[in-house]
A and B are shown apart, each in its own frame.
Chain A
Amino acid sequence: MGEVKVGHKSVLLSPSPHLSRRLNTQRVARYTMLLATTMSVIVTVGIVASLFPTAVRTMITIGTQIIGISWAPLFEPPEYGILPLFTGTIFIVAIAMLVAVPVGLAAAIFLSDYATFNLRRVVKPILEILAGIPTVVLGLFGLYVVNPLYVEKYWPIGEPLAYSALGAGFVTGILIVPIIASVADDALSAVPRAMREAAYALGATRREVASKVVFNAGLSGVVAALILAFARAFGETTIALMVAGSYPKFTANPGDPMMSLSAFIGFAGIGDAEVGSNAYNTIFLIGAILFLITLIFNIVGNRIIAKYREAYE
């Protein structure tokens, strides 16, 4: 605005047409965007505010009974020993990781160092389709195929039943293969080209480059992939409920039915639990525990990813 000297001439700079109107539009847009941004904060606050008051109150009434090996809060008299839910969850998640880690990591190494551009364009969608299979379909597969045709037939220990943690773990493993593959592939692909070329120049074979140089350089990202997949398996509800059943058995036999933390929420929450009832109180308690544990794993996983991004950018 006003006059500006350019050499010995003076030039009149006037604001461009409709500037104030355009700036007003921008102001309105800015506030709208800010409002949208606060929505995500509101959701988080909502989660915390809905879970924790009920969870803490329930925890106080239960007290030390929570450390026990019998979980039956919906029965009379109720029992609140939470350990069976933890062993159930841990068994399912551990089996899932056992299935998914080798396949997922191999897929990631394949994508980052072995696949040609065109092969990548075929393999990525395959993993995406696998990632897109709804959990209820995976659950059905576990219930109708894995449990009766494999676990019941071939699992040697104990009396086989229609439900098993082994089947649930296997199917949950299918669910997290694509997560491990895609997050680890991102990490391995971020390793600078120069590192690969240096290794090739020293006479390393493709396997040595991929498994020793690239894999070690991208290790933090690979660990993050495993942590995020772990968190996903930990919170998976439908598969655990359909395949491992809804009986919280305290056992070390993976061929037995078990109940995971999240499966209990699905199980007890179906029946239109009344506010203040035992079912209502305990699902919020378990929900809070589930939320806290997955939160910790997610924070750690994401922090590792942020660190390696910083290192390579």
Chain B
Amino acid sequence: MSQTISLKSRLSPRRTLIDGAFRFFLYLSIFISLGMIFWIVSSLWNEAGWLLSWDLLTNYPSYDIDNAGFQSPLVGSLWVVGIATLVALPTGLLTALYLEEFAGKGNKFSRLIELNIQNLAGVPAVVFGLIGLAFIVRGFVKWGFTVGSAAAVIAMLMLPVIIIVSREAIRAVPPSYREGALALGATPWQAVWRLVLPSAIPGTATGSILAVSRAIGESAPLLLLGALSFVTFNPTGLDSPFTIMPLTIFKYASDSREEFQILASAGSLILMAVLFILNLIAIILRDIATRKRNV
């Protein structure tokens, strides 16, 4: 004789209701996050979408709205963040390699460095502007308000972020890679250089691109380094005066006349477009990296 037991329990209507409400609240929060992006972009677009043209990229900043554009700040941002990346990326990568592969876990030295990097990553950006002002613009280096000073400050800002993301990427490389190489007679450095580092590149690249896009949008520290001015020529070298995208937007925004609001919004759209492309590249790279690991 067989007996059927029903395992289906019935939830009380109250619990079902609360569960549904909770689920709704969670979806709502995601919807709000998405809505914020849409709200911000669409209000910029409504204000300045009609103004977008190639002239905006090739003209220089100006108080004459018909001829105003963003060429020198775009090139300036490229210079500053480009040089900062050239400095911060190798330095950060080597630091990450050292901490993960050579320093030894848990000893005093590596703990101290780790603590230092973590806290450096949390220092408000504007404080990096102060160290730049005290030591690089004036002080020992006396570099003045130049591309070089700005790049040095942005490099300091990027360094802890790059170290943290690179370490994560390096940690994700399976230990068997190293062990295999060592068993074949490679020195630890050879194992790291030829196997660990190449396998960590997609992860590092993703994190570094995000660090670069954060640096491009950074405005506070360079407020203190003389970037808040109309520079109507492109930088020619490390000693050039410069301006950058975010601060040109800031400058236009601080003028209360309607046309400058429009210019500031147009600049924001351009800046967002650049960052969106960078983020997209980073997301695609990460997808490739995780798919590789899962195979």
Contact = CB atoms under 8 A, between A and B. Distances in A.
Interface of A: 16, 19, 22-23, 25-26, 29-30, 32-37, 39-41, 43-44, 46-47, 49-51, 54, 102-104, 106-107, 109-110, 114, 121, 123, 125-130, 132-141, 143-145, 162, 174, 177-178, 181, 203, 205-208, 210-211, 228, 231-232, 234-238, 242, 262, 265-266, 269-270, 272-273, 275, 283-284, 287, 290-291, 294-295, 297-299, 301-302
Contacts of A284: 130, 134
A106 B224 contact: no
21 contacts: A33-B95, A40-B95, A40-B163, A43-B159, A47-B130, A106-B26, A106-B30, A107-B33, A110-B26, A121-B287, A126-B37, A127-B33, A129-B37, A134-B272, A135-B246, A137-B40, A145-B39, A238-B250, A242-B254, A266-B126, A302-B115
B271 A137 contact: yes
B138 A290 contact: no
B259 to A, nearest CB: 13
B179 to A, nearest CB: 17
Contacts of A206: 19, 23
Contacts of B134: 50-51, 54, 284
Interface stretch (B169-177, B230-238, B275-283): B275-283
With a 10 A CB-CB cut-off, give which of A22, A29, A121, A181 has the most chain B CB atoms.
A29
B156 interface: yes
Nearest to B290: A121
B1 interface: no
Nearest to B103: A37
A103 B34 contact: no
Contact of A135 (B25, B220, B228, B275): B220
Contact of A129 (B94, B246, B276): B276
A47 B123 contact: yes
A106 B254 CA distance: 36
B56 interface: no
Given A26-B189, A265-B130, A37 B213 contact: no
A225 to B, nearest CB: 13
Contacts of B133: 50, 269, 273
Secondary structure at chain B's binding surface: helix, strand, loop or mixed? helix
Given A26-B188, A136-B246, A41 B33 contact: no
Given A211-B22, A238-B219, A291-B123, A47 B36 contact: no
Given A50-B130, A144-B265, A203-B9, A126 B220 contact: no
Secondary structure at chain A's binding surface: helix, strand, loop or mixed? helix
A287 B127 contact: yes
With a 10 A CB-CB cut-off, give which of B19, B25, B134, B135 has the most chain A CB atoms.
B134
A265 B193 contact: no
B220 A37 contact: no
A141 B23 contact: no
A44 B120 contact: yes
Contact of B253 (A19, A130, A139): A139
A304 to B, nearest CB: 12
Nearest to B214: A132
B253 A34 contact: no
Nearest to A43: B156
B30 A290 contact: no
B27 interface: yes
A172 to B, nearest CB: 13
Contact of B95 (A36, A231, A234): A36
B117 interface: yes
Contact of A140 (B127, B216, B217, B268): B268
B196 interface: no
B28 to A, nearest CB: 8
Given A36-B98, A40-B163, A237-B124, 20 more contacts: A25-B187, A25-B189, A29-B193, A33-B95, A36-B91, A36-B92, A47-B131, A50-B135, A109-B26, A123-B30, A132-B213, A134-B216, A178-B33, A207-B23, A236-B124, A262-B126, A266-B223, A294-B122, A298-B118, A298-B119
B97 interface: yes
B226 interface: yes
B95 A238 contact: no
B116 A41 contact: yes
A295 B223 contact: no
B214 A205 contact: no
B44 interface: yes
B102 A235 contact: no
A178 B33 CA distance: 9
8 A-B pairs closest in CB distance = A235-B124, A134-B217, A106-B29, A298-B122, A36-B94, A50-B134, A33-B98, A26-B189
A16 B126 CA distance: 53
A126 B30 contact: yes
B187 A141 contact: no
A16 B185 contact: yes
A203 to B, nearest CB: 6
B149 interface: no
B83 interface: no
Nearest to A266: B223
A136 B214 CA distance: 12
B264 interface: yes
Contacts of A51: 127, 130-131, 134
Contacts of A262: 124, 126, 220
B25 A106 contact: yes
B249 interface: yes
Nearest to A231: B122
